[in-house]
Amino acid sequence: NAGVTQTPKFRILKIGQSMTLQCTQDMNHNYMYWYRQDPGMGLKLIYYSVGAGITDKGEVPNGYNVSRSTTEDFPLRLELAAPSQTSVYFCASSYAGGGLGSSQYFGPGTRLTVL
């Protein structure tokens, strides 16, 4: 069982470039999340989705966009990359929402550097 997969694993972007971080889960989870992790700052929620066609902003959505056309996929789009977006990005999925104590399953992360 693959769980949550993310591609690419590493990427270097130039300022102003765009890219899409891919995330796929094979557990048939309705809930999916994108986080960024900066050194010493824990995980900050960028966007989340409670099902196909439904997305909502998290704590730090500026500079990012998402879409959820299928249950399995939840890509994160960076437009006009900036050095402040240098971070490690994690995708996660869960069967139910956090308020129900549902476990989140994380992918291995994408390490992005913007120069």
Partner 1 sequence: TQLLEQSPQFLSIQEGENLTVYCNSSSVFSSLQWYRQEPGEGPVLLVTVVTGGEVKKLKRLTFQFGDARKDSSLHITAAQPGDTGLYLCAGAKGGSEKLVFGKGTKLTVNP
Question: Could you list the residues that contact partner 1 (CB under 8 A)?
Answer: 4, 31, 33, 35, 40-45, 48, 50, 56, 58, 90, 92, 97-101, 103-109
Residue 17 or 72 with smaller CB distance to partner 1: 72
How far apart are CB 15 and partner 1 at their closest, in Å?
26
Q: Which is nearer to partner 1, 14 or 99 (CB)?
A: 99
* Residue 103 CB, nearest approach to partner 1 (Å): 4
In the chain, at which residue ranges do the beta strands (DSSP E only) sit? 4-7, 10-13, 19-25, 31-37, 43-51, 54-57, 64-66, 76-78, 87-94, 105-106, 110-114
Residue 100, classed as helix, strand or coil, is helix
Reference 58, options 36, 84, 77; nearest CA is 36
Q: Please state the closest distance from residue 47 (CB atom) to partner 1, in A.
A: 11
What gap in Å lies between CA 113 and CA 94, rounded to an integer? 28
Task: Name the residue nearer to partner 1 (CB basis): 3 or 83.
Answer: 3
For residues 54 and 80, which CB has a smaller minimum distance to partner 1 in the complex? 54
C-alpha 22/C-alpha 20 separation (Å) is 6
